[in-house]
């Protein structure tokens, strides 16, 4: 039977969009993008989402602008995933399920979530784009923990440079060139975002000072946020709303490359299509993609489409789910769904000694990179630290401050002055730790189903002592840094840190990784160094599910670099099985 498409891409987030665009550039491939969500990618859609920000309640919610989408019913996501395990388990409507008999030491909730939308989670990402450092690729060789990637920094470096151009990354080359041995072959396409008033005040107090025995440096975080007009998108206007939505698209999102890909007449996007199964032919290749078209007139209808190559780009929960739903496809290693990772994060908040006027400009502009590497990684996780420009971040909004003032009885004429005094001094440090790939941290299929009858994801998860000890170090470093600033650390913190049972409090950075892990050995990995599954020659996986280690970098730039590299490899391999029907 003739293939209808040369390439079928499942998912339209940054990995799917870049795959489609790059392959469309390379040849006249017939490409179909299947996307479970259903929303526009025009400026009008963005305005509509922005309007939602003006009419709904919780502006700190990453899903807030997207609440009206009908796709929330048919392509659900865990919209309250930051709750603790007991709260999640007690909610029958929770999208996430958990092993009923969890391993005794697997007692953590999986708190990260994602958007199932055209454009994916990039609608509501922060936009930070640091690179991995060289040691991140050799965690096992250098520190005896975790795994090694099948590739190294040098191999990925040119793709990082391309990815920075594609996403439009602003940054200061001199601050980051050579970071822990990571050279940069090219400058950033744009200079770094100007520091905020708060960053300048904080930097003046801590830059070059010694914290936990090492000198620290406040540097501008590389970010896919325009510091000047770039790629037909404007410079950032500082709406302080990067999460959940940049209202002017100064921050990159995947709609950039979707629009570009769809300019090619051979590229089609089909939204409202929830893929349910990949079917293999006798030759061992995937040839049919089954999906439910929930936009059909009467009721959701099952449909299918044939393609020569299939690229799974449905993020690190839906991608392994789909393989498991497809008769355990590409899982001879039993690694599909395992090695689930996130960046485990905590925020320490304080009152700066003078007004620093947060909530003006991007939510975070600067960070401290000095804690990302060292011999300690044999014992505990490294972390990246970011300096917030958003008050107390997720730990507390301005409303939290007013709530506190009212508890103090500050009604009446005392209130406006107290607000003007306290809120402009709100300051935040957050640290995100690396997680190790662990077999037992996994997602698989629940027997509970969603509105379309598709299994929900089921989790077994624990952050582990390696992370907990990294978090403790991050907490201690944050306290030292705030002390250097002369800032009064909030006591108690909005979330207590040490829980007293050997565990610590934490939150998610929502950086989901590792469920179709990359490696050279088919016996213990799912995809090869290019992103092709070991078991199925025409099935590729794009996105952070292929990450071998989580490192400390926000994942999107590495997703983009690996995807561009993968697309080139697919193009080279198009002569393989089922490829390009002529």
Partner 1 sequence: MDDNDAFVELSALLTGLYDDLLHDPEHRSLNRPIAVEYARRLKGTFPVKFPALLEAYKTLATATPKPPVNDALLAALRATQAFKDNEIVAKQIVNVWYFSQFKDEKDVLIDGGFYERGEVWPRIKAHPIGFSTQLHGYWSRKPQSASH
Residue 43 in contact with partner 1, rule: CB under 8 A? no
Q: How far apart are CA 106 and CA 512, in angstroms?
A: 18
Candidate ranges 18-26, 32-40, 126-134, 188-196; the one touching partner 1 (CB under 8 A): 188-196
Minimum CB separation of residue 232 from partner 1 in Å reads 16
Measuring CA to CA, how many Å separate 360 from each of 226, 325, 483? 16, 46, 24
Alpha helices in 302-407, H assignment, sequence order? 315-325, 398-407
Q: Rounded to 5 degrees, what are φ and ψ at 357? A: 55, 65
- Kindly tell me which residue out of 99, 143, 165, 359 binds partner 1, with binding defined by CB under 8 A: 359
Residue 189 or 196: which CB sits closer to partner 1?
196
**Tokens at 82, concatenated:** 């930051």
Alpha carbon 220 to its chain's center: 20
Does the footprint of partner 1 cover residue 367 (CB under 8 A)?
no
Quick one: 55 or 100, whose CB is closer to partner 1? 55
The answer to whether the CB of 430 falls within 8 A of the CB of 345 is yes
Q: Establish if 200 lies at the interface with partner 1 (CB under 8 A).
A: yes
Stretch that binds partner 1, among 92-100, 156-164, 369-377, 416-424 (CB under 8 A): 416-424
Residue 360 interacts with partner 1 (CB under 8 A): yes or no: yes
User: Is residue 528 a contact partner of residue 534, using CB atoms and an 8 Å limit?
Assistant: yes
Question: CA–CA separation, 335 vs 230, rounded Å?
Answer: 41
Closest CB to partner 1 among residues 102, 235: 235
- Residue 429 engages partner 1 in binding (rule: CB under 8 A): no
Of residues 213-272, which lie at the interface with partner 1 (CB under 8 A)? 227-228, 235-241, 245, 247
194 binds partner 1 (CB under 8 A): yes
| CB < 8 Å & 24+ apart, contacts of 293-296 | 294/71, 294/74, 294/75, 294/452, 295/38, 295/271
Q: Does 411 bind partner 1 (CB under 8 A)?
A: yes
Among 120, 182, 337, 361, binds partner 1 (CB under 8 A): 361
State the alpha helices, DSSP H only, in 75-152: 85-89, 139-143
| Active site amino acids | 511
Least Å from the CB of residue 422 to partner 1:
9
Distance of closest approach, residue 46 Cβ to partner 1, in angstroms = 12
| Cβ closest to partner 1, residue 239 vs residue 343 | 239
Segments in 336-463 forming alpha helices (H): 398-407, 414-422
Q: Does 55 bind partner 1 (CB under 8 A)?
A: yes
Place of tokens 């190294």: 152
Rounded to the nearest whole angstrom, what is the least distance from the CB of residue 41 to partner 1 in the complex?
A: 20
Contacts of 271 (CB under 8 A, 6+ apart): 12, 35, 36, 37, 38, 39, 71, 118, 295
> Pairing between strand 273-280 and 267-270?
unpaired
Binding mask 369-408 for partner 1 (x = CB under 8 A): --------------------x--------xx--xx--x--
CA-based torsion, 158, 161, 165, 167: positive or negative: positive
For the bound state, the minimum distance from the C-beta of residue 511 to partner 1, rounded and expressed in Å, comes to 23
Tell me, what DSSP letter sits at residue 133?
P
Residue 273 Cβ vs partner 1, minimum distance, rounded to whole Å: 31
Stretch that binds partner 1, among 108-116, 146-154, 190-198, 434-442 (CB under 8 A): 190-198
The residues binding partner 1 (CB under 8 A) are: 50, 53-59, 194-197, 200, 227-228, 235-241, 245, 247, 357-362, 389, 398-399, 402-403, 406, 409, 411-417, 419-420, 423-424
């Amino acid at each position: 039977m003739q293939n209808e498409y040369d390439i079928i891409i499942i998912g339209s987030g940054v990995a799917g969009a870049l795959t489609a665009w790059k392959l469309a550039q390379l040849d006249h491939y017939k490409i179909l993008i299947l996307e479970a969500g259903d929303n526009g990618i025009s400026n009008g859609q963005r305005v509509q989402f922005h309007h939602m920000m003006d009419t709904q309640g919780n502006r700190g919610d990453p899903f807030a602008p997207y609440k009206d989408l009908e796709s929330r019913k048919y392509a659900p996501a865990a919209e309250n995933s930051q709750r603790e395990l007991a709260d999640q388990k007690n909610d029958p409507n929770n999208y996430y399920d958990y092993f009923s008999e969890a391993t005794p030491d697997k007692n953590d909730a999986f708190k990260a979530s994602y958007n199932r939308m055209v454009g994916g989670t990039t609608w509501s990402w922060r936009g930070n784009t640091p690179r991995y450092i060289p040691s991140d690729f050799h965690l096992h060789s250098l520190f005896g923990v975790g795994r090694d990637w099948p590739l190294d920094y040098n191999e990925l470096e040119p793709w990082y440079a391309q990815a920075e151009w594609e996403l439009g990354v602003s940054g200061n080359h001199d601050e980051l060139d050579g970071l822990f041995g990571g050279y940069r072959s090219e400058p950033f396409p744009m200079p770094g975002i100007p520091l905020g008033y708060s960053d300048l005040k904080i930097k003046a107090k801590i830059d070059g000072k010694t914290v936990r025995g090492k000198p620290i440096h406040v540097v501008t975080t590389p970010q896919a946020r325009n510091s000047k007009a770039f790629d037909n998108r404007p410079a950032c206007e500082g709406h302080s709303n990067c999460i959940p939505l940049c209202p002017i698209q100064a921050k990159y999102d995947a709609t950039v490359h979707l629009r570009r890909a769809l300019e090619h007449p051979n590229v089609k996007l089909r939204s409202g299509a929830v893929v349910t199964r990949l079917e293999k032919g006798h030759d061992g290749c995937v040839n049919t993609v089954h999906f439910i078209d929930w936009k059909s007139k009467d009721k959701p209808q099952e449909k299918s489409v044939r393609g020569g190559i299939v690229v799974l780009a449905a993020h690190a929960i839906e991608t392994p789910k789909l393989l498991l739903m497809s008769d355990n496809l590409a899982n001879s290693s039993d690694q599909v769904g395992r090695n689930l990772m996130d960046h485990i994060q905590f925020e320490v908040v304080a009152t700066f000694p003078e007004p620093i006027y947060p909530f003006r400009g991007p939510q975070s502009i600067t960070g401290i990179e000095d804690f990302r590497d060292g011999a300690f990684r044999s014992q505990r996780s490294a972390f990246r630290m970011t300096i917030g420009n958003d008050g107390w971040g997720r730990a507390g909004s301005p409303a939290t401050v007013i709530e506190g003032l009212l508890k103090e009885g500050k009604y009446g004429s005392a209130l406006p002055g107290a607000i003007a005094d306290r809120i402009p001094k709100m300051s935040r440090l957050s640290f995100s730790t690396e997680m190790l790939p662990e077999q037992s941290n996994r997602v698989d299929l629940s027997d509970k189903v969603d509105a379309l009858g598709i299994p929900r994801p089921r989790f077994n998860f624990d952050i582990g002592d390696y992370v907990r000890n990294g978090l403790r170090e991050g907490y201690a470093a944050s306290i030292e840094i705030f002390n250097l600033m002369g800032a009064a650390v909030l006591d108690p913190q909005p979330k207590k840190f040490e829980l007293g049972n050997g565990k610590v409090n934490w939150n998610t950075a929502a950086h989901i990784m590792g469920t179709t892990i990359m490696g050279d050995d088919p016996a213990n990995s799912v995809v090869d160094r290019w992103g092709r599954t070991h078991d199925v020659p025409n099935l590729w996986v794009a996105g952070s599910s292929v990450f071998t280690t989580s490192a400390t970098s926000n994942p999107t730039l590495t997703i983009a670099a690996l995807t561009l590299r993968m697309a080139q490899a697919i193009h080279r391999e198009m002569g393989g099985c089922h490829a390009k029907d002529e």
